[in-house]
Structure 1
């Protein structure tokens, strides 16, 4: 998921810090970034909130990665 990767790297965040801010593990964020899994709706909303809407929950729908 390039939008999420760009958000994290553009702000010099660690995966650990970002994962903590959205309430999940670093491994889970890494899996999402690699396109292996999509976040649950709750996590997608948490990501949208944490990124102030730069990465929207709808960005994770099937076929958009």
Structure 2
């Protein structure tokens, strides 16, 4: 659809969602690390899962 195309173009041009105010910095770091326009700079899934598990452990 046209909307999906427009979203794809915006992402291609580097537009990303704004971080929700109050988002914990460590979560924001994980979140934004996945946005790199260069795929080789994005973390692998196992790294993301480990980081999220560590974050969960720190907050409980």
Larger Rg computed on CA atoms: 2
Same fold (TM over 0.5): no
TM-score normalised by structure 1 residue count? 0.28
TM-score normalised by structure 2 residue count? 0.30
Give the structure, 1 or 2, with the largest relative contact order (CA under 8 Å, sep 6 or more): 1
